[in-house]
Structure 1
Amino acid sequence: MMMGLGPLLLIFMLGSCLTQPNPAPDDQRYKIFLNQHYDPTPDGHDDRYCEVTMKRRDLTSPCKDINTFIHGTKKKIKAVCEDKNGKPYGEHFRISKSPFQVTICRHHGGSNQPPCKYRATAGSRYIVIACEHGLPVHLDRTFYRP
């Protein structure tokens, strides 16, 4: 009886080692956050930058009304989720202790179908984000702080 279970147990153990676990849901949300809001080295901060980047990131079908790109390192953005560069803001968010360079892309013009036209506003702003398990998963807003 024991002899028959040995090969079966070995096959089960090998099979479980070969299957890749699904990424954690918060890790997926972090990847989506990066696609929508992270651009460490922008090619300008003008209208053309917005139009090209929004299209490249697949945020133009339909045209997204507004989107903000954060120009900082992943490490600095993640630090907003900790006390290093962030502090609690409201019930569910964190606000950065230091400002980030950002480009805000606002859709303008008639249709919300491509081709999308955007106007860019660049500046230094504080960011408000939601975090899960130490990772940013949602950009709530940005603003100037007096």
Structure 2
Amino acid sequence: MVMVLNLLLLVFMLGLGLTPPTLAQDDSRYKRFLTQHYDAKPSGRNDRYCESMMKTRGLTTPCKDTNTFIHGKKRSIKAICEDKNGSPHGETLRISRSSFQVTTCKHIGGSSRPPCRYRATIGFRHILLACENGLPVHFDESFIHP
């Protein structure tokens, strides 16, 4: 009996040891998404904003062609991954039911090496995300709601 309990305890402990890396991987993809695409309260939202944000967020080695920053609350963006604020779109993506304030930064030519110059476009639009385990992990730049 004691041997069976020890074996069960060992299996349980091994299971606990395997769980955190999976959760950490999911969390790291979500954190990368936030780094690349989230800015709760932007200041300026002009070309200088784009150049500063792209550099600060590590998106200029090489110069990323296009990047969109989503403004608002994290919980509203996360809700797209659920039925609260999102609907399935295609095979693997989800589209927001509500519009979000965004700033899109577009590289305006020249070398793909720094210093990078960007043009800002501001507006509101529905956003298209890929989600894993209830968290956004990818922003689809190709979708622009007219």
- In the alignment, the residues of structure 2 paired with residue 137 and residue 76 of structure 1 have an alpha-carbon distance, to the nearest angstrom, of 15
Aligned counterpart, 1:26: 26
- In the alignment, the residues of structure 1 paired with residue 144 and residue 113 of structure 2 have an alpha-carbon distance, to the nearest angstrom, of 28
- In the alignment, the residues of structure 2 paired with residue 44 and residue 88 of structure 1 have an alpha-carbon distance, to the nearest angstrom, of 33
Q: Percent identity?
A: 63
The answer to whether structure 1 residue 143 and structure 2 residue 132 are counterparts is: no
Q: How many residues align?
A: 131
Task: Give 1 or 2: higher helix fraction.
Answer: 2
Secondary structure of the 2:140 match is strand
Aligned counterpart, 2:6: none
Task: Give 1 or 2: higher strand fraction.
Answer: 1
Secondary structure of the 2:59 match is coil
Could you tell me how far 1:143 is from its partner in structure 2?
1.9
Could you tell me how far 1:45 is from its partner in structure 2?
1.1
How does the TM-score come out when normalised to structure 1? 0.83
Unaligned runs of 5+ in 2: 1-12
Aligned counterpart, 2:50: 50
Aligned counterpart, 1:39: 39
Could you tell me how far 1:24 is from its partner in structure 2?
2.4
2:34 partner amino acid: L
RMSD, matched Cα: 2.1
Q: Give per-residue Cα distances to partners, 1:63-82, cap 9 Å, x unaligned.
A: 00000000011000000000
1:37 partner amino acid: H
Q: Radius of gyration: which is bigger?
A: 1
- In the alignment, the residues of structure 1 paired with residue 33 and residue 47 of structure 2 have an alpha-carbon distance, to the nearest angstrom, of 22
List 4+ stretches of structure 1 deviating above 4 A: none
1:26 partner amino acid: D
Unaligned runs of 5+ in 1: 1-12
Secondary structure of the 1:69 match is strand
Aligned counterpart, 1:66: 66
- In the alignment, the residues of structure 2 paired with residue 144 and residue 138 of structure 1 have an alpha-carbon distance, to the nearest angstrom, of 17
Could you tell me how far 1:119 is from its partner in structure 2?
0.2
